[in-house]
Structure 1
Amino acid sequence: MQGRVAFLPYVPIRLKAQKPKPFPEAPRTLGEHLKRCRLARKLSQKQVAKLLGVSPFTVLNWEKNRTTPPTRTIPTILRFLGYNPLGPSGPGSLPEQLLLGAWERLRGDSSRR
């Protein structure tokens, strides 16, 4: 069969699916908050990485929840976000407690100790 090409008739195909949303409506993880804030400000992962002092691959991993940010970067991330992702609710897990502690130190609160 060398030199021959099989004839496949033209069949129109329509793929139907909703486009995925760029970020979750109600972010639950720090990575989801980071992605939502980045997209709202129309920044690239490379630009955010430069602002946070990390590599673009690190930002990608945080946004996809493959890894979590180390404690030392949380104050920088909170400054970038401009808010505490935990909101008014109290901390439950150890990472949430660390996040809240970093937020309080960033703001200068000492009332929760």
Structure 2
Amino acid sequence: MPQDRSKPHFSADDTIGGRISLARDAIDLTLDEAADFLMVSAWTWASWENDRATPPTDRLPLMARLLEVGPTWLLTGYGSGPRWP
């Protein structure tokens, strides 16, 4: 049975980096574009997506707005996640 891509399975077991990456992919944003928006290097953004570092808490609301998700979803996996085209 084909998977419904409009509502991918989101799990609270995912990491924050996985959710950041997933949300960025959902809105078709490049890593460089996302990093520029938050005024960080692409290396920093990539380290967040790869769980090598955690984004500062003061950046999470802006990151959530950029990624079109709720800040709670970024942190926990519960709440308003990405919408797929």
Q: What residue ranges of structure 2 are gaps of 5+ in the alignment? A: 1-8, 80-85
Q: CA deviation at 1:29?
A: 2.3
Q: CA deviation at 1:81?
A: 2.6
Taking structure 1 as the reference length, the TM-score comes to 0.49
Q: What residue ranges of structure 1 are gaps of 5+ in the alignment? A: 1-24, 89-113
Q: CA deviation at 1:79?
A: 1.0
Question: Could you say which structure has the larger radius of gyration?
Answer: 1
Distance 1:36 1:61 in 2: 14
2:49 corresponds to 1:63 = yes
Structure with the larger RCO, 1 or 2 (CA within 8 Å, 6+ apart): 2
- Spell out structure 1 runs of 4+ moving beyond 3 A: none
- Amino-acid identity (%): 31
More helix by share: 2
SS at 1:78's partner residue?
helix
Taking structure 2 as the reference length, the TM-score comes to 0.63
